[in-house]
Amino acid sequence: MTNPTPLVKASALRKGFGKKEILHGLDFQIEPGRIVGLIGHNGAGKTTTLNALLGLTDCEGDITVLGKNPYAQRAALMNDVAFISDVASLPRFLRVRELFDLLDEIHPNFSREKANGFLHGTDIRADAKIKNLSKGMVAQLHLAVVMAIDARLLVLDEPTLGLDITYRKRFYKRLLEDYMNEERTLLITTHQVDEIEFMLTDLMFIRDGHLVLDSPMEEVGERYAQLVVHPDFLEDAKKLKPVFEETKFGQNIMIFDGVDHEKLSTMGDVTIPTVSDLFVALMQRDTAHQGEMI
């Protein structure tokens, strides 16, 4: 990470509700052109982090997005930031055409032509009332609207919640093929990590308001290894202090942090863990060394 002007810069970011602190001092940066997955359990603080970044909530510490303080300069920032949240709803009483009229008027970077183009090939017609569209169609419409905004940062909070697998795949394909380029940055949260793994350039894990991983994907692949341990080498492998171990279908599987992959390959089959395997491993990290996992 050498870029001197990150798109997002957070340091010692804290947020509490009442007496309960939710974010415990996050430090992270996001560079332009990246596709970042922010992954965590329910209640870990993902939406709170995104809200801080979007200026929807005030917080302690420093956060700048495109050089602006999101809370103080939210209106100006929103010209360059687009957002889909799991709770966002489009005005249901409008027709699709009327929604585009409205956006044309209020958003300087909205292109009606592009939005119409993105709806091409879907079942959504310009005179359809939003309240009569299915959940999947509303998500498609939402994506079309957002992709028609020339934004530098796109924030997606569980954008495919409630959609079937076909819609979810189409959603991400469209996003990647029709929207992303080197100048655009995407920050996305989802519980369906397997479905976005292919497109991520960076991975952030948040657990109980702490960042437990913040790394480019290629470094994740260099740093972590999953080993299906040959029974003869079980004790040797344990000595290398796996961060996680489990028995699955009679096989001993371990995940290692920072252990030479070649050394591991003398003890069994080595692969790079999937994001979901890594997630399970790191979220339980506190107990792994105590041998409680097997």
Ligand X SMILES: Nc1ncnc2c1ncn2[C@@H]1O[C@H](COP(=O)(O)OP(=O)(O)OP(=O)(O)O)[C@@H](O)[C@H]1O
31, HSE (Cβ side, Cα atoms, 13 Å): 12
Answer for the pair 27, 10: CB distance below 8 angstroms, yes or no: yes
Cα 233 to Cα 251: distance, rounded to the nearest angstrom: 12
57 contacts: CB under 8 Å, gap ≥ 6: 15, 48, 51, 71
Asked if 161 and 86 count as a contact pair (C-beta separation under 8 A), the reply is yes
| Piece of the chain touching ligand X by CB under 6 A; list 41-49, 113-121, 144-152, 170-178 | 41-49
Can you tell me the distance from the alpha carbon of 174 to that of 183, in angstroms, rounded to the nearest whole number? 17
Cβ nearer to ligand X, comparing 71 with 233: 71
Q: Which two tokens stand for residue 230?
A: 């040959």
Task: Decide whether 15 or 142 has the Cβ nearer to ligand X.
Answer: 15
Q: How far is the CB of 1 from ligand X (least distance, A)?
A: 24
By beta-carbon proximity to ligand X, the closer residue of 17 and 249 is: 17
207 scored as a contact of ligand X (CB under 6 A): no
In the complex, what is the shortest distance from the CB of residue 88 to ligand X, in angstroms, rounded to a whole number?
13
Complex with ligand X: residue 149 or 275, whichever CB lies closer: 275
Minimum distance from CB of 38 to ligand X (Å)? 9
Comparison of 41 and 74: residue with beta carbon closer to ligand X: 41
Stretch that binds ligand X, among 43-51, 60-68, 104-112, 192-200 (CB under 6 A): 43-51
CA atoms of 5 and 30, how far apart (whole Å): 9
Rounded to a whole number of angstroms, the minimum distance from the CB of residue 241 to ligand X is 29
Q: Is 138 helix (H, G, I), strand (E, B) or coil?
A: helix
Rounded to whole angstroms, how far apart are CA atoms 247 and 256?
Answer: 15
Q: Pick from 13, 48, 66, 149: which binds ligand X (CB under 6 A)?
A: 48
The closest alpha carbon to 179, from 90, 84, 108, belongs to 84
If the CB atoms of residues 34 and 46 are measured against ligand X, the closer one turns out to be 46
User: What is the rounded CA–CA span in Å between residue 168 and residue 105?
Assistant: 30
| Cα(11)–Cα(29) distance, integer angstroms | 9
Which residue among 10, 35, 44, 196 contacts ligand X (CB under 6 A)?
44
Alpha carbon distance 71, 67 (integer Å)? 12
CB 82 within 8 A of CB 107: no
Nearest to 221 by CA among 278, 264, 176, 267: 278
Smallest distance, Å, CB 128 to ligand X?
30
Residues in binding contact with ligand X, number by CB under 6 A: 10
7, 28, 47, 85: which one binds ligand X (CB under 6 A): 47
Residues in region 11-40 near ligand X by CB under 6 A:
17, 22, 40
- Figure out which of the listed residues 11, 27, 43, 236 binds ligand X, where binding follows CB under 6 A: 43
Q: How far is the CB of 283 from ligand X (least distance, A)?
A: 12
Q: How far apart are the first and last CA of the chain?
A: 37
Residue of the chain from 6, 37, 45, 242 that contacts ligand X (CB under 6 A): 45
- Binding ligand X (rule: CB under 6 A), the pick from 8, 26, 46, 202 is 46
Contact positions vs ligand X (CB under 6 A): 17, 22, 40, 42-48
